[in-house]
Amino acid sequence: MTSLWLTFWRSAIYEVRFLRHNRWDFTMLFWLPCATIFLVWWIFSRPFITDLPVAVIDESHSPVSQMLIHYLETSPDLTVRQQYNNQHGAYNAILAQQVYGVVIIPKNFATNINSATAAPVILKVNAQYGTHSGIVQRGVQSAVGTISAGIEIKRMVKQGVSPTQAGISYAPISINRVSLFNAGTNYQQFLASTVLPALLHILAMIIGATTIGREIRDHSLGIWYQCATTDTPPPDFEAKKHLPPHAKFKPTSRHFEDVYVSDFDQYGLSKLSVSQSDNATRNMVTNRNMSDETFNKIAINDQSKEASTIKATFLSLVMALNGKLIWGLLPYTLWGAVVLILAVDSHSASLASILVVYVLFLLLMMISLWLGAIFSLLAYSLRIGLSITGFISAPAYAFAGITFPLVAMSDNAQRWANILPLTPYLKVQVAQLQMLAPPALAMPYIYGFIIGVAGCMLVTVFLCQRAFTNPLKWGVR
């Protein structure tokens, strides 16, 4: 047990020394998520959408039309940006995104009202933006409905009906709307608190893919495991960080007895049994015109059929991988706490609900790190691993059911959404922090995430063992 914890510690020391001399990787752990959190929260610092600009074309120029414009201006949802004389100018304003809708008051507007006939107001709205469009329509409908009710009630009062009875007669059926959750349509609560976990999920997967993928790219996967399981000190990352990946850890000698023995054994093949009487290999060594890189590839290929590669035990590899990824997890425990503090600042939630969501967030980060490592190991390539990571994590928020109803998606989209780990996490977060659901409802998700973490870790261990047996595939960018 002590040796396993030593493996964990050595692997963690290896990683922290790398981070000390590679500032961009450290930025991915600390500064980038920090900037992301506060930038997103600053963007949504105005939690309510108000004063959306609209244009007005008043062809009536009557007191009633001026009253309607006044009601539009006083609506909390709208502001009249400008009045136009023709539709061409208003259309150009929409194309330039200066306004999101145009209210057209027709020429016979006042005449129709006075004659008790229909007096429609035309609203042309840019429905390309769903949120903007809905708010503009709501604001215009509210203003028009208020004026319409006032005119009709005034007419009925003139006919001798009491104001109270006139109000009831005008709208005999009304809706008493009660908002159960997020009554004020707080977009900071609605969007910011759910966007942040999605962004941290993306960054965590990138960190997982980079942490393992760079060892494959730099031919240093064997060095890392050797440093984690023996007393071998980590390499000088400061001296090697400016070298190209293929030159950082390659063997430097052309002499056969030194091919696999250097300060650090890049492929983990230092214990290979090599026959000194192999004439073909001796001829290869004596060829002084052969490049180091070509020599190394030929030598490894010649001996890989007879020699064993790195022998990694299951438990030692588990501890080494956890030690390597621990620095990706620890900062995100802090960022998860910051996100939850910001999320519950605008609305109260029980301590039990906060703890449940925090535990689930940590499990989500673990799954994200392991998935990133899995993708790099599957492809033997950091570049492909990052591409797969982006393909899966970047659009995950769109499938989470926050901005578009999950039940309204196609069957295939729903299946894909249910596979992604972000979907159940956001479902639990919204239920616990915003809908104040009982914490017991989240326990099945926690158990499922624990199983997911264990499964991803086992797959990563298996893929690492596979990578150790195929050193010729290392070095792909």
| Model pLDDT, residue 412 | 94
Q: Are strands 78-83 and 52-58 parallel, antiparallel or unpaired?
A: parallel
| Model pLDDT, residue 364 | 97
| Model pLDDT, residue 170 | 66
Do 196 and 155 share a structural domain?
no
Q: How far apart are CA 427 and CA 324, in angstroms?
A: 30
| Residues 471 and 309 sit within 8 Å (Cβ to Cβ) | yes
Q: Where are the beta strands (DSSP E) in 175-262?
A: none
Do 104 and 21 share a structural domain?
no
Do 121 and 12 share a structural domain?
no
Do 164 and 144 share a structural domain?
yes
**53 - beta bridge partners?**
79
Q: How far apart are CA 476 and CA 67, in angstroms?
A: 70
Q: Which of 376, 386, 374 is nearest to 461 (CA)?
A: 374
Do 146 and 201 share a structural domain?
no
Q: How far apart are CA 452 and CA 162, in angstroms?
A: 68
Do 336 and 199 share a structural domain?
yes
What is the pTM (predicted TM-score) of this model? 0.79
Which two three-digit tokens encode residue 432?
A: 């616990």
| Model pLDDT, residue 230 | 87
Residue 12 included in any domain: yes
Residue 252 included in any domain: no
First-to-last alpha carbon distance for the chain, in angstroms, is 36
| Residues 211 and 15 sit within 8 Å (Cβ to Cβ) | yes
| Residues 469 and 309 sit within 8 Å (Cβ to Cβ) | yes
| Model pLDDT, residue 336 | 93
In terms of residue numbers, what domain contains 149?
52-170
Q: How many domains does the chain have?
A: 2
Residue 300 included in any domain: no
Instruction: With residue 52 as reference, give the H or E element that holds it.
Output: strand 52-58
Q: Which of 245, 246, 200 is nearest to 367 (CA)?
A: 200
| Model pLDDT, residue 238 | 64
Residue 281 included in any domain: no
Do 159 and 81 share a structural domain?
yes
Do 56 and 127 share a structural domain?
yes
CA distances from 264 to 232, 366, 367 (A): 8, 30, 31
Q: How far apart are CA 21 and CA 84, in angstroms?
A: 61
Residue 17 included in any domain: yes
Q: Are strands 122-125 and 101-105 parallel, antiparallel or unpaired?
A: antiparallel
Share of the chain above pLDDT 70, in %: 80
Q: How far apart are CA 183 and CA 193, in angstroms?
A: 16
Half-sphere exposure of 114 (CA within 13 A, CB side): 8
Which two three-digit tokens encode residue 447?
A: 């158990």
Contacts of 199 (CB under 8 A, 6+ apart): 33, 36, 40
Q: Which of 170, 201, 231 is the last residue of a domain?
A: 170
Which two three-digit tokens encode residue 193?
A: 């608190």
Residue 412 included in any domain: yes
| Model pLDDT, residue 1 | 66
> In which residue ranges of the chain is pLDDT below 50?
251-308
Give the strands of the sheet with 78-83, arranged side by side. Answer: 78-83, 52-58, 101-105, 122-125
Give me the phi and psi of 103, to 5 degrees please.
-100, 120
Do 192 and 109 share a structural domain?
no
| Residues 201 and 393 sit within 8 Å (Cβ to Cβ) | yes
Do 100 and 11 share a structural domain?
no
138-168 burial code (b ≥16 CB/10 A, e <16): ebbebbbeebeeebbbeebeeeebeeeebbe
| Residues 54 and 140 sit within 8 Å (Cβ to Cβ) | yes
Do 10 and 153 share a structural domain?
no
Do 213 and 77 share a structural domain?
no
Sign of the CA dihedral 442, 443, 444, 450?
positive
Q: Which of 263, 250, 227 is nearest to 14 (CA)?
A: 227
**104 - beta bridge partners?**
57, 122
Q: Which of 446, 457, 451 is nearest to 361 (CA)?
A: 446
